[in-house]
Amino acid sequence: MVLTLYKIDASPPVRAVFMTIEALNIPGVDYVNVNLLEREHLKDDFVKINPQHTVPTLKDDDFVLWDSHAIAGYLVAKYGADDSLYPNDPKRRALVDQRLHFDTGILFPSLRGTVEPLFFWGEKSPRPENLEKIEKAYGFTESFLTSPWLVGGEVTLADICCVATISSMNEVLPIDGNKYPNLVGWLERCEKEIFYKKGNESGLLQFRQLLKSKLQ
């Protein structure tokens, strides 16, 4: 087994894979930095690996996969000791998948749409309409949290992937605990998990510093 992960630490999708690796205790992963700000993802050697030229990208020997959710599911299926992070039960699996699609379709686009103009286009403050999308996404997530975790009483890939995005959104627009107490409580629970501390905190700090530098 030779696992190689192409990554940039500040990226929320990359951090979702970091956290999955930590939760599964997968040893010996080879990490390769791809600096999107320097457009390294557009170099020929990386495009040959991933024509979509996105991070994270995983190589497992000669198998190549991109998209953080696809990678996370693959890692659980191949390297997980059990199915707790990505349950085999059809109903629980469907709920996890729904939350992952929510991250893909609502959470991450609202974050990316807000920070992309700051990081890449030279804008100096978030657009109000984009902050409204983040606020709306908080409201949806609040309504999902009828239990300690996004799908019941145990951590799943839904929590790992969504917290990578939501912890970053919180840097852009701090979550109002009076409006979203369930969301704040969930984020605090995630922050106590070892996978979060090892897989998310360092990259989130880099995201925070990058955001501050662009806003200044």
Domains in the chain, please, with CATH?
3-79 (3.40.30.10), 90-214 (1.20.1050.10)
pLDDT bin (cut points 50, 70, 90) of residue 212 is very high
> What token pair was written down for 70?
């696809």
Q: Scanning the structure block, which residue is given the tokens 């992070």? A: 85
pLDDT of 164 over the 80 cut: yes
| Coil, strand or helix at 60 | strand
The token duo for 169 is 């959104």
Q: Is residue 78 within 8 Å of residue 26, measured between CB atoms?
A: no
Active site residues: 11
pLDDT in the model for residue 42: 82
Stretch 99-103: mean pLDDT: 98
Judged against a pLDDT cut of 80, whether residue 86 lies above it is answered with yes
The pLDDT, as a whole number, for residue 181 is 98
Say how far apart CA 111 and CA 95 lie, in whole Å: 22
Q: How many CA atoms lie within 13 A of 1 on its CB side?
A: 10
Return the SS3 of 214.
Answer: helix
